[in-house]
């Protein structure tokens, strides 16, 4: 009789190993994506490396077949006291940041409300399917869309500064422009809000492609 032969892996063992390997790979990919997002935003806004990330949320968390479609990122960073003072001084000196609150007209452009309403009307015309009554779930009004967009943003302090950047494509890595004020709907943006009192920089990234 042969002894001490290694046991052959059965189907269940092979499936378990494959699942563990897949889960491990997904975790590593998630870490890499978060690190890449953080690197992009730190570089974009010249955030000092000693600053700490308090909050990070991303959807889509990982690239799919067509990249990260409909990308949404929220990142909140706290700066050390000395770095916060230096960062605030640079914000004021640059002249490229505006005092809070964010103007309602700019919020409407960030939410692309005019574009959405036009697309909705055009779809109804092309398909022949009439729009649902205004204010219903499938046909919210401009004011409803505005309030929904406000609610999706990080809480804004009473005093502070904000800046909007847009690229038109590849929002994380493409060169940005800083419209001030924002006068047209955009299909992507970075919205940064600086709270000097709390020493936090809240960054919202959004794209519709």
Instruction: Report pLDDT digits (tens) over 13-66.
Output: 544 444 344 444 444 455 889 999 999 999 999 999 999 999 999 997 665 555
pLDDT, position 69: 84
Q: Is residue 3 part of a domain?
A: no
pLDDT, position 60: 78
Q: Is residue 15 part of a domain?
A: yes
Q: Is residue 6 part of a domain?
A: no
Cα distances from 202 to residues 28, 37, 79, in angstroms, run: 26, 14, 11
- 27 vs 124: CA distance, rounded Å: 43
User: Contact at 8 Å (CB) between 188 and 176?
Assistant: no
Instruction: Express each pLDDT in 125-172 by its tens digit.
Output: 999 999 999 999 999 999 999 999 999 998 899 999 999 999 999 999
How many domains in the chain?
1
Q: Is residue 147 part of a domain?
A: yes
Enclosing domain of residue 195: 11-207
Q: Is residue 32 part of a domain?
A: yes
Q: Is residue 72 part of a domain?
A: yes
Q: Is residue 185 part of a domain?
A: yes
Could you tell me where the beta strands, DSSP code E, fall in 20-154? 52-59, 72-78, 98-99
Closest CA relative to residue 166, chosen from 114, 202, 207? 207
Instruction: Express each pLDDT in 170-190 by its tens digit.
Output: 999 999 999 989 999 999 999
Rounded to 5°, angle at Cα 118 from 115 and 122: 135
Q: Is residue 4 part of a domain?
A: no
- 172 vs 158: CA distance, rounded Å: 28
Tell me which H or E stretch contains 94.
helix 81-94
Percent with pLDDT over 90 in the chain: 77
């Amino acid at each position: 009789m042969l002894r001490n032969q290694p046991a052959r892996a059965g189907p269940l063992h092979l499936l378990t190993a494959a699942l563990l390997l897949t889960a491990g790979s997904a975790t590593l990919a998630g870490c890499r994506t978060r690190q890449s997002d953080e690197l992009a935003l730190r570089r974009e806004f010249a955030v000092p490396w000693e600053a700490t990330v308090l909050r990070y949320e991303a959807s889509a968390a990982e690239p799919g077949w067509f990249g990260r479609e409909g990308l949404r990122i929220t990142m909140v960073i706290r700066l050390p006291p000395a770095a916060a003072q230096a960062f605030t001084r640079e914000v004021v000196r640059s002249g490229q940041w505006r005092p809070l609150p964010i103007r309602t007209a700019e919020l409407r452009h960030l939410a692309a409300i005019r574009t959405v309403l036009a697309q909705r009307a055009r779809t109804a015309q092309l398909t022949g399917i009439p729009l649902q009554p205004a204010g219903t779930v499938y046909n919210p009004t401009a004011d409803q869309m505005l309030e929904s967009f406000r609610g999706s943003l990080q809480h804004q302090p009473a005093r502070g500064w904000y800046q909007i950047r847009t690229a038109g494509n590849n929002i994380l890595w493409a060169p940005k422009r800083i419209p001030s004020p924002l006068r047209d709907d955009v299909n992507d943006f970075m919205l940064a809000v600086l709270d000097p009192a709390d020493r936090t920089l809240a960054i919202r990234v959004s794209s519709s492609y």
